[in-house]
């Protein structure tokens, strides 16, 4: 091919790309117009505009149909950006709810809660994106009274942690269908005085696990039977995995196993881990009791993948013993940041700065 022909060929290719770009722009604008109309319909019907489950399913479907050369990672980032812009068009009230210049107030509630690094993560995200919000930690024992207070004070959003993820559901005006199916709420959005509950735990946990291991057709053994165990068990089953629940309290463990259609073993009777993945969802080993671990170390074996959802400390005793045994390990940071990103997007309608949020937590943990 001569240089002249090569130049002509290059020009032809560029014309093709220009034509494709024009079609992409037209399609995106058409999508945004439809998204705006959908948002208006949802608002008229009193339905929730933001649907993280729908967004997750949409991206999963696109990934399944993607034939390349676009990578899954690039596909995720492209469509995440498009979804974020669609949210902003659908929900201008998210930014106008408290009026111009007003600071939106958010909180994490639990008992205990002083260990939480959610304020560090979310306040850094607010500052990075220029969002006028502040996030605080509140120790709450009376969940019903707290919910009334959030309505009265106009808190825009709440993160819910131990021990309120299940009991808070009775205090809300509405619970997202997926969170109701799971049976636990860890995220609350204040929609014009109506408190609406969501669950971002299962999305965060499945994403963290998927970064390290394909859980489809795997048996995942979950230690614990609280709200986090419910959410994670649900996410694993939905991703094609099988779940076994281990818990100190047989009654609570059996109840969760029945809800998930999973198997159950009393923790005290476990002689071996019958699965490929082990996930600790209990607070055993959390700061300041970092010397504790939720099961005997002799139950670990080298071929296990071990995840601990505790992020403070980042390397729990369970994970330390797992490393010594030869296991592949996943700390709680990824799940914590992923679920926090879902919360941020539910509250603000903006794309979460994942790297910034992760760096903020890592920096805080180095000072602990």
The span from the CA of 234 to the CA of 247, in Å, is 17
Catalytic residue among 165, 207, 218, 351: 165
As given in the structure block, the two tokens for residue 289 are: 């009791």
How far is residue 261 from each of residues 38, 187, 233, 234, 258, measured CA to CA in Å?
35, 25, 10, 10, 5
Sole residue written with tokens 């993945």:
277
The span from the CA of 315 to the CA of 308, in Å, is 9
H or E segment at 253?
helix 250-260
The span from the CA of 240 to the CA of 261, in Å, is 13
* Catalytic residue status for 42: no
As given in the structure block, the two tokens for residue 262 are: 């999973």
The span from the CA of 93 to the CA of 99, in Å, is 9
Identify whether 313 is preceded by a cis peptide bond (ω within 30 of 0): yes
Q: Are 149 and 158 in contact (CB under 8 A)?
A: no
Positions marked catalytic: 165
């Amino acid at each position: 091919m001569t240089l002249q022909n090569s130049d002509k060929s290059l020009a032809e290719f560029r014309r093709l790309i220009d034509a494709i770009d024009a079609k992409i722009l037209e399609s995106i604008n058409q999508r945004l117009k439809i998204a705006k109309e959908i948002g208006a319909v949802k608002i008229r019907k009193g339905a929730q505009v933001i649907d993280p489950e729908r967004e997750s399913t949409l991206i999963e479907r696109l990934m399944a149909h993607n034939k390349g050369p676009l990578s899954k990672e690039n596909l995720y980032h492209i469509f995440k950006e498009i979804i974020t812009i669609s949210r902003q068009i659908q929900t201008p009230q998210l930014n106008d709810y408290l009026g111009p210049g007003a600071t939106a107030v958010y909180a994490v509630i639990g008992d205990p809660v002083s260990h939480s690094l959610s304020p560090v993560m979310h306040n850094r995200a607010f500052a990075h994106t220029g969002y006028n919000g502040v996030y605080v930690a509140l120790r709450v024992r009376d969940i019903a009274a707290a919910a009334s207070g959030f309505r009265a004070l106009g808190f825009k959003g709440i993160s819910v942690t131990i021990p309120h993820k299940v009991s808070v559901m009775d205090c809300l005006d509405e619970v997202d269908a997926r969170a109701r199916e799971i049976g636990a709420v860890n995220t609350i959005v204040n929609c014009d005085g109506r408190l609406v509950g969501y669950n971002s735990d299962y999305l965060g946990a499945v994403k963290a696990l998927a970064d390290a291991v394909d859980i489809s057709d795997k048996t995942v053994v979950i230690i614990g039977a609280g709200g986090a165990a419910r959410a994670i068990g649900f996410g694993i089953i939905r991703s094609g995995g099988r779940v076994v629940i281990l818990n100190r309290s047989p009654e609570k463990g059996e109840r969760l196993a029945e809800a998930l259609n999973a198997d159950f073993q009393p923790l005290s009777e476990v002689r071996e881990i019958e699965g490929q993945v082990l996930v600790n969802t209990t607070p055993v080993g959390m700061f300041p009791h970092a010397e504790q671990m939720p099961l005997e170390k002799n139950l670990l074996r080298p071929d296990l993948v071990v995840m601990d959802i505790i992020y403070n400390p980042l390397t729990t005793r369970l994970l330390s013993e797992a490393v010594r045994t030869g296991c592949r390990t996943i700390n709680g940071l990824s799940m914590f940041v992923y679920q926090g990103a879902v919360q941020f997007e539910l509250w603000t309608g903006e794309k979460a700065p994942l790297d910034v949020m992760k760096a903020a937590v890592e920096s805080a943990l180095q000072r602990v």
